[in-house]
Amino acid sequence: MTASLRLAEAREAEGFAVFLARLLRWDKAAVVRLQASGSVLAVFGQPPFGGGVVAVRTAELADTHEVDATVSAGQLLDGLDGEAGTLAVPAAVTGPAWAGVLPPRGGWRRLEGLPSPDDVRAVAVAAVTEFRTRSEALTPEHRTRAQLDALADDIWSRRLGATGLPLRAVHAAHALGFLRPVRATVPAPRTAGGSGEPAMDLLAAGAWLRLRTSYGSVAVRRGSGLGLSVSPV
């Protein structure tokens, strides 16, 4: 282990555990890029169905650190102590290409036009339902990888209203649990007026768009549409 990081709030460990477990649900060999700069910790991951979407969960640290490593998501989860609120950083591994192209740390500006959290959630559920319905309607001889990829591209390449955010980003946020209502037992510093709904913003920085909620963010470069997966969630 190269370092042990202590969270400013021990209960934040639950959020990281959920994030890592969901990544591992789809890819047992998933890796994440972990960056600790000063008192801020950020853990980046890419769901296999995200089509270029990068997800990130952040938290405040109790102490200052400078760590930047690509590590096994499974080993990082194993080294997480929920009661103590600490993360043991595993040895670095060779990372995939996405880990070298991360969203910028700063320079984000808020964009208008994002639908309500309820509406964003409804769009995500409707898109997943549409994929399942249309894929199940295919005859066996037409349910090929090429046909499913084309169907996925048709659905996940659509935009969320007039925002320009591709639905693959909304899908990733939904699948990772970033769109779920806030529970009182989970730290949610950015709630919307105490309503129990996650605060939600659409941000832009350069070529990147970012959907930010109380549970984490998903970011995608505008014009990137490669790697769409057929896996609905």
- Domain boundaries, given as residue ranges, for the chain: 3-102, 110-221
How far, in Å, CA of 16 to CA of 166, rounded?
A: 25
**In this predicted structure, what is the pLDDT of residue 212?**
96
Q: Which amino acid is at 31?
A: V
Model confidence at 183, pLDDT cuts 50, 70, 90, reads low
Neighbours of 128 (CB within 10 A): 19
- Average confidence (pLDDT) over 113-134: 94
Among residues 86, 63, 61, 62, the alpha carbon closest in space to that of 76 is found at 86
Q: Is the pLDDT of residue 48 over 90?
A: no
Tell me which fold the domain 3-102 belongs to. Answer: DNA Polymerase III; Chain A, domain 2 (3.10.150)
Q: Is the pLDDT of residue 191 over 80?
A: no
Q: Is the dihedral of CA 36, 47, 72, 79 positive or negative?
A: positive
User: Model-level pTM?
Assistant: 0.85
Q: What percentage of residues in the chain have a pLDDT greater than 90?
A: 76
Task: List, for residues 51-107, the tens digit of each pLDDT value.
Answer: 789 999 999 999 999 999 999 999 999 999 999 999 999 999 998 999 999 999 899
How far, in Å, CA of 20 to CA of 26, rounded?
A: 11
- Average confidence (pLDDT) over 213-222: 93
